[in-house]
Structure 1
Amino acid sequence: MSYADVNGLRLWYEEHGDGPPLVLLHGGYGAAEMFAPIVPALAHRRRVIAVDLQGHGRTADVARPLRYESMADDVAALLRYLDLPGAQLLGYSLGGGVALRTAIQHPDLVRRLVLVSTPFRRQGWYPEVLAAMSGQDERAGERMRGTPPHQLYTRIAPRPQDWPVLWAKTGDLLRREYDWTPQVAALAVPTLLVFADADAIPVAHMAEFYGLLGGGHHDPGGDGTARPASRLAVLPGLTHQDIPTTPLLPHVALPFLTHQLH
């Protein structure tokens, strides 16, 4: 467990296991602990590096807004700090957006990408989810006091009093429109998309995302040799909230990260 001084930020990370590097990026209002149930399975085959993003967990906030692009630059700076060119990234929700932007902005640093419950444009969320995101602010943060995410933040954050600030900054991020269609279509890094079958993202958006990565356009042939390098997994019986902790996640991610792609 350590800090890396990158981009004017003291970025916290912890390491587990041995093998090719796999960086884990948590969801909004979370921390590296979000992946605790699946880290042992991943660390059996990988050098797992779990990061606390700007203003989350043990990484204190700095005087800049929360943006996918700047947090992606932080992750890239960490990879360079650790001398890890060609790392694999696994990001969930907010962290998935950061992982995707890292691959877009720094393609030389990312070998494979696993995006969990992540849309490629803001309108990829269900309308009711977007409405809830639009209402996130300091007052919403006050209402979340005493919940498990707040309890974790209070226990590990360098400045626990910044909880309302995190909500205000995250709300500002989540209200911003974005559409990364051209960048996703041009993405060269092999990518595994993982969603819950009852996710906060419609199945149609999952299929569209996979299509941008080259999937679902034609029959791959009997031996599958004409299939794209990227993959799509829809995990049954799960929601957006419980997908990052299911044992099914390492079960589908590790073969993709490990096997030679044709």
Structure 2
Amino acid sequence: MSYARSNGIDFYYEQHGDATGMPLVLLHGGIGSGEMFEPVLPALAASRRVITVDLQGHGRTGDVDRPFDVGAMADDVAGVIEQLGVDGKADVLGYSLGGDVALRLALQHPERVNDLILVSIAIKRSGNHADAIVAMDGMSAEMAEMIKPSPAGQFYAQHAPNPDNWGTLIAKTSDAIHHDYDWTAEVAGLQARTLLVFADADSIRPDHIVEFYGLLGGGLRDAGWDGSAQPKNQLAILPGQSHYDILTSPLLAPVVSGFLQSSSSPQ
């Protein structure tokens, strides 16, 4: 059981694979934990050091009297990376809530992020499909008991520092996903080399995916027969997947590994 203290919270983390070199930090989705990455962890850790971190109030990390704010969570992770990274830096992959935290981390603490992988996130709330927004609006603290038998609820009951806080986790999650946001203006200034990954049946609208990638300089022109105009940032759409099962795609690990192994030099 390993913990790193940041902003007054002891964050549970696990290390897998080679213990040397630039680590890859994995940030999980809402009401989940680092265990969400079990489908891809062996492949990602086969050639590098991989660190999973349980976010505030999730998994084996305790909660504090603070809302689930992705900016504050990004500050938390910056402190963890400062302790566990190489020269205080890491490659970072975030999925869903963890992707929002990873993006905020790269924007607020660019000195902590080497390469960035964002899986299934929107940079503004309206970037989600309308029915997905309706589902977000419908989530409430009262749903805690209904969700409790789910795999996430069972894991929390077995491993959380205080399993009785399940209702608080759902209430804070509900409050967070009702919050409107738009990071469009900031994204254009993102410094980290970035890979965007989406499912072909994602909760994110296809036109928003194109907008997001365009802000990173992608999809704006032909790369040229010699690749001279190939953008430094990349986009992957994984077939036959949705927002909810994208981490199980057999293509995710090869896509991520290929991006991390490729040159970070701008073309």
The reply to whether TM is greater than 0.5 is yes
Q: Which residue of 2 aligns with 1:39?
A: 41
SS of 1:14 mapped into structure 2: strand
TM superposition outliers: structure 1 runs of 4+ over 6 Å: none
1:128 Cα deviation after fit: 1.3
Shift in alpha-carbon separation, 1:197–1:83, aligned structure 2, 3 A: closer
Contact 2:11 2:61 in 1 (8 A): yes
SS of 2:36 mapped into structure 1: helix
1:129-160 per-residue CA deviation (whole Å, 9 max, x = no partner) reads: 11111222221121112111111111111111
Query: Using the alignment, how far apart are the partners of 1:190 and 1:226 within structure 2?
Result: 15
Contact 1:56 1:157 in 2 (8 A): yes
Amino acid at match of 2:64: V
SS of 1:228 mapped into structure 2: coil
1:45 Cα deviation after fit: 1.8
Shift in alpha-carbon separation, 1:222–1:104, aligned structure 2, 3 A: same
Contact 2:82 2:89 in 1 (8 A): no
SS of 1:236 mapped into structure 2: strand
Q: Is 2:18 the partner of 1:11?
A: no
Amino acid at match of 1:56: H
Query: Using the alignment, how far apart are the partners of 2:3 and 2:248 within structure 1?
Result: 25
Contact 1:137 1:164 in 2 (8 A): no
1:5-25 per-residue CA deviation (whole Å, 9 max, x = no partner) reads: 110111110000114200000
> Structure 1 residue aligned with 2:196, among 193, 196, 200?
193
Amino acid at match of 1:35: F
Q: Which residue of 1 aligns with 2:2?
A: 2
Q: Is 2:160 the partner of 1:157?
A: yes
Q: How many residues align?
A: 262
SS of 2:80 mapped into structure 1: helix
Amino acid at match of 1:7: N
Amino acid at match of 1:196: A
1:158-184 per-residue CA deviation (whole Å, 9 max, x = no partner) reads: 111111101110111111111111111
Q: TM-score, normalised on structure 1? A: 0.97
Query: Using the alignment, how far apart are the partners of 2:237 and 2:37 within structure 1?
Result: 19
Query: Using the alignment, how far apart are the partners of 2:85 and 2:128 within structure 1?
Result: 35
> Structure 1 residue aligned with 2:30, among 1, 24, 28?
28
Query: Using the alignment, how far apart are the partners of 2:208 and 2:249 within structure 1?
Result: 22
Query: Using the alignment, how far apart are the partners of 2:162 and 2:249 within structure 1?
Result: 31
Q: TM-score, normalised on structure 2? A: 0.96
Q: Which residue of 1 aligns with 2:79?
A: 77
Amino acid at match of 2:68: L
Shift in alpha-carbon separation, 1:83–1:243, aligned structure 2, 3 A: closer
Q: Is 2:76 the partner of 1:60?
A: no
Query: Using the alignment, how far apart are the partners of 1:162 and 1:114 within structure 2?
Result: 30
Query: Using the alignment, how far apart are the partners of 1:68 and 1:38 within structure 2?
Result: 24
**% of aligned pairs identical?**
53
Q: Which residue of 2 aligns with 1:48?
A: 50
